[in-house]
Structure 1
Amino acid sequence: MTNPVQPSTPVTVSKLGYVEFETQDVDRLVDYYTTILEFTEVDRTADEVYLTPSFDHHAVVIRKGETKPRTSVGYEIFEDLSDAERRLTDAGYAVERRSDIAPSTPDVLILDEPTTSTKIHLYDQQARSGVGPDDSSLRPTKLGHVASFTPELAPMQDFYQKLLGFKWSDTVGDFFVFLRCNSDHHAANFMASTSFTGMHHIAYEMRDLNHLQTMLDHMAQNDVRLEWGPGRHGAGHNIFTYHKDPDGNMIELFTQLDVIHDEAKGYFEPRPWHTDFPQFPKTWEVDLVAVNSWGPINPALIDH
């Protein structure tokens, strides 16, 4: 990528599609996703397993390798792939187009995310998984967002907003930014850090509090314990819980995330637990309200 410039119009990302994990023990991580979170295994090769909670072919790819989360992230775009490729290339971005990324996505654009080693995959749609809404009463409804560390916020925020069309939702202090690609408060968020790298956490959405409680009881019966929560974040206002998967990756299960249905009005749909009325995107002070309005902070999860 040589002196890239802002494209004439950003690519139109419409949703977060999937995240890839590398692990030394594929079967152990697959067992966690299928037994604890009740994802469905859709496809498998010698080195990869594809898992889904919904109608898309996969939301999680587990690949044999060194233990490393978020090696690639897939985003669905709401436009012609060839047009997106032309605009990105004209803007000076190195774009690779491949047809062998996954069995469900035969046409994918690949870009390097700035400041990290993560590959960004852009595609127009996935094949269907065949999974129905009544196949499980436990599993999350969807992959919600991925939070990651970055040494610098500015180039990462520019990449997502100016290149991929994300919109700014909130910032905490001067180090934690939340970005959205549809009505959900965030699909990607980044924490500036010179001490940490890689993924901070990955989050899956639960339908409501009853659904979340049922999952937490199921996890307890399988000896999976919480690292933090339940609580309510300030930025995004989602009710959260955090636990670790067998590789030590931090997993958030959440519900009640803020949404913006009308971008022209620019404020989040009103909720009684909001701190402002109306609640517009803003920069939050670094305090208890921004992190957990219900109570304690877990320093290990917010340290940067």
Structure 2
Amino acid sequence: MPSAAWRSRCGRMGRAERRPVSWSKSAMIKIRRLGHATLSTPDIEGQVDYYTRVLGLSLIERTAERAFLATKQGLEAIELVKGEPGRLTRLSFQITPGSDPAAVAKELEQAGLKCEVRHGISPGIAQAVSFEDPKGTRVDLFAEYTFAKSDPQPAMFNIVKLGHVAYRVRDVQKLVQFYCDLFGFRISDWRGDHFVFMRCNTDHHTLNFVIDEKPALHHIALEVLDWSEIHKAVDYLAKNGIHLVWGPGRHIIGHNIATYHRNADKVRVELFCEMDQMKDEALGYFDPRPWHQEFPLRPKRHGPETLRNYWGYGSERVIPGYQTDEVPTYGAKK
């Protein structure tokens, strides 16, 4: 178990209400939002079809080596590169606009990271500082972003952004300390000592890390506007032969309404809305909502009694397709 001092510095909360911590004010570089995730696939064309035709993202760049997809509003969300199926190879974050890449790289090098300034990261990112995080993922920090041209072509439902990324790691505490101390992340919640939810802005979580002996991507999450979009999405997924592995349901940790499915690369994809928001860090609690179980709702550690689904169904310990790579089928028995 980490020391009490370390838990305090990283904002880890118990069941009792605590005053908000201020350690993040001294973070070297403040991450403001999640950018795009780079996923490898042996079938770029097939995945482009899935992300555009099924999920409604826009293809904004296609070369022999990669494809870039963005929301209809112009936020880049997914980069596809050739490789093994379902691997998260890179992750990008936006830092404070106006930050000097050379100065950022120097600060990170002083903290012991090997960095390089890269160019031509994406259609919207001309320059970024690149390094490897403790789990081995390449990270690109960019200060300036140019929105892709808005796409007027309608989709069956509308994704507004890449909301968060979750990853299986051997040492959760190491990743927490890394992103807290260097980049100003805050702890929103823990499930036991093995699953952490971390925020870099008002959203309840942007990064999740869960203990696992085999490091791998856990899931990516795409935010939609509201519950009606979830309704349209699950109908359209089913029409395209894609069955859910969990949901719809409302998580207790984060309180987002969510569904999960797997694509052809076995990547678990969450579609969500209504995530908890902490719009004032000084207050130290999430904006009150009718579905909260306590008021005020502050960061805490959740015990084993905390359900995955506030509505009940889908809270069992092992859910086929969710914890495993099994994809459910529901064909009629002959």
TM-score, normalised by the number of residues in structure 1: 0.92
Q: Does the 8 A contact of 1:166 with 1:180 survive in 2?
A: yes
The code of the aligned residue for 2:187 comes to W
Moved more, 89-98 or 42-51: 89-98
2:104 to 70, 78, 84: 84
Q: Does the 8 A contact of 1:150 with 1:193 survive in 2?
A: yes
1:137 deviates by 5.3
Indicate the residue corresponding to 2:132 in structure 1: 112
Alignment of 1:164-175 (within 5 A): 164-175=183-194
Q: Does the 8 A contact of 2:27 with 2:183 survive in 1?
A: no
The code of the aligned residue for 2:183 comes to L
Indicate the residue corresponding to 1:42 in structure 2: 60
Q: Which runs of no fewer than 5 residues in structure 2 stay unpaired?
A: 1-23, 325-334
2:251 to 229, 233, 242: 233
Moved more, 168-177 or 99-108: 99-108
Moved more, 20-29 or 85-94: 85-94
1:12 deviates by 0.9
SS state at 2:36 partner: strand
SS state at 1:141 partner: strand
The code of the aligned residue for 2:309 comes to N
- Is 1:131 the counterpart of 2:150? The answer is yes
C-alpha separation between the residues in 2 aligned to 1:10 and 1:297? Answer: 39
1:272 deviates by 1.1
Q: Does the 8 A contact of 2:76 with 2:148 survive in 1?
A: yes
C-alpha separation between the residues in 1 aligned to 2:68 and 2:146? Answer: 12
- The RMSD of aligned alpha carbons is 1.9
C-alpha separation between the residues in 2 aligned to 1:173 and 1:166? Answer: 19
Q: Does the 8 A contact of 2:156 with 2:236 survive in 1?
A: no
Q: Which runs of no fewer than 5 residues in structure 1 stay unpaired?
A: 1-5
C-alpha separation between the residues in 2 aligned to 1:275 and 1:8? Answer: 32
1:39 deviates by 0.4
C-alpha separation between the residues in 1 aligned to 2:105 and 2:77? Answer: 23
Q: Does the 8 A contact of 1:76 with 1:124 survive in 2?
A: yes
The code of the aligned residue for 1:110 comes to S
Moved more, 56-65 or 14-23: 56-65
Moved more, 148-157 or 51-60: 51-60
- Is 1:294 the counterpart of 2:314? The answer is no
1:72 to 46, 68, 90: 90
1:132 deviates by 4.8
1:168 deviates by 0.8
C-alpha separation between the residues in 2 aligned to 1:139 and 1:126? Answer: 21
C-alpha separation between the residues in 2 aligned to 1:133 and 1:187? Answer: 28
Q: Does the 8 A contact of 1:55 with 1:130 survive in 2?
A: yes
Alignment of 1:259-298 (within 5 A): 259-289=277-307, 291-295=308-312, 296-297=314-315
C-alpha separation between the residues in 2 aligned to 1:141 and 1:88? Answer: 31
C-alpha separation between the residues in 1 aligned to 2:252 and 2:231? Answer: 21
Q: Does the 8 A contact of 1:143 with 1:205 survive in 2?
A: yes
1:151 to 159, 170, 173: 170
2:38 to 20, 31, 35: 20
1:66 deviates by 1.8
Q: 1:25-44 CA deviation, whole Å, 9 max, x = no partner?
A: 11111100011101000011
C-alpha separation between the residues in 2 aligned to 1:168 and 1:7? Answer: 14
Indicate the residue corresponding to 1:3 in structure 2: none
- Is 1:206 the counterpart of 2:224? The answer is yes
Q: Rg larger in 1 or in 2?
A: 2
The code of the aligned residue for 1:217 comes to D
Residues 206 and 250 (structure 1), Cα distance of their counterparts in 2 relative to 1, 3 Å cut: same
